[in-house]
Amino acid sequence: MIEVVGIGAAGWDALGARERALVLAAHRVLGGPRHLDLLPAVPGQERAAWPRDLRDALPGLVAGHEDRPVVVLASGDPLLAGVGSTLVDLLGADAVRVHPAVSSVALAAARLGWAADTYALVRLRGGDVDLVRRELYPGRRVLVLARDAGTAAEVAALLVEDGYGTSTLTVLGDLGAAEESRLDVVAAAWSGPAPALNVVAVQCVGDAGVAGPASLAPGLPDAVFDHDGQLTKRDLRASALAHLQPRPGALLWDVGAGAGSVAVEWMRSHPSCRAVAVEQHEARAKRIRLNAARLGVPGLRTVLGVAPEALVDLPTPDAVFVGGGASGAVLDAVWSALPVGGRLVVHAVTQETEMLVAARWREHGGTLTRIAVEHLEAIGSYHGWKPARAVVQWGATR
């Protein structure tokens, strides 16, 4: 059994008697250098600081100690974006026992007087500050688990860039320690570093005239995407996503992604949704990455290649969207890749693609829908309806 002990900024004296006894009795203690420095000396006890590549190194660090007690130290609640979650993933819940301390999130919310259901939580691990963008709406509250002293400056710059520079930024440092600090400032006025251990709280206020993405519902305006014309337009995109049915934790393949709009909106529907955008043109793949970052889903994976060859080593999808390059080989490959219950949506614009889709519909079932959209446009001093190219949509569940 690996004992994972959460320890706060207050250090050793704030641990409970049971947790202190576990640490003192351990043959080996693993943790960050800051955590290990909080402990009293224990003669004969092995102590090891985490290596840079923690996940790959963990099995080796805990191996060979099956008959001797091992304690892992973590910040606050080890299952809140901590090493406890990693250990459970690697070793299984039956091999890990977690002893949480009060998390920095709970302390931050207590200092601010924010109820648990009134704010969004964003955990930053690497260069993913763009995750904050998904949560930016006027009146929204956001707690950001900072990765280091520079996070507050990054968040402040992002808020200014996205038109939220008048938002209130509260930086809470060393929560629970004697040297705990708090700084409240307008985001546009932020300067200087924060404490190394900090949580950044944002009360979003949109600058005058700044709308930003209006909703997490599918069908963002086409204008929010950078594209070269290869874009699944708003009305068709909303319909496709409705049939794809995004669900927490589910993985989408967006094949022939173009601007990546379907993959981006899939991931925006829930923080745990995942997507792979497959695109053969390098310039478009770059646009996909930019669109994903700008709309708050920097974790969107982009694969540069031609389907179906580019699909071979991808993880099994829960849903697939084919918006471009729908050859017979691609349709057969994505259908075979789907598990039972997996959803497929294909858009066909040309007559040749319609014929391929109709053949698969006869073979696999599902629904065929012909979607024609018209938009009102000026004709001199008058207005008239301009039809867009009709699209045949095949939706099916395996």
According to the model, what pLDDT value does residue 57 have?
A: 78
Per the DSSP assignment, residues forming a β-bridge with 220 are: none
Task: State the architecture of 105-203 in CATH terms.
Answer: 2-Layer Sandwich (3.30)
According to the model, what pLDDT value does residue 200 have?
A: 97
According to the model, what pLDDT value does residue 211 have?
A: 62
Between the CA of residue 86 and those of 33, 63, 81, 275, what are the distances in Å?
Answer: 18, 15, 9, 22
Region 2-102: CATH code? 3.40.1010.10
Contact call for residues 345 and 243 (beta carbons, < 8 A): yes
pTM (two decimals): 0.90
Contact call for residues 121 and 182 (beta carbons, < 8 A): no
CATH class of the domain defined by 222-397: alpha beta
Please, which residues have CB within 8 angstroms of residue 326's CB and are 6 or more apart in sequence?
256, 346, 347, 348, 353, 356, 357
According to the model, what pLDDT value does residue 300 have?
A: 98
- Domain residues of the chain, as ranges? 2-102, 105-203, 222-397
* pLDDT by position in tens, the chain (length 398): 899 999 988 899 899 999 999 999 999 999 989 899 999 999 999 998 988 777 777 777 777 666 788 999 999 999 987 889 888 988 889 989 999 999 999 999 999 999 999 999 999 987 799 999 999 999 999 999 998 999 999 999 999 999 999 999 999 999 999 999 999 999 999 987 899 999 999 999 988 877 666 688 999 999 999 999 999 999 999 999 999 999 999 999 999 999 999 999 999 999 999 999 999 999 999 999 999 999 999 999 999 999 999 999 999 999 999 997 789 999 999 999 999 999 999 999 999 999 999 999 999 999 999 999 999 999 999 999 999 999 999 999 99
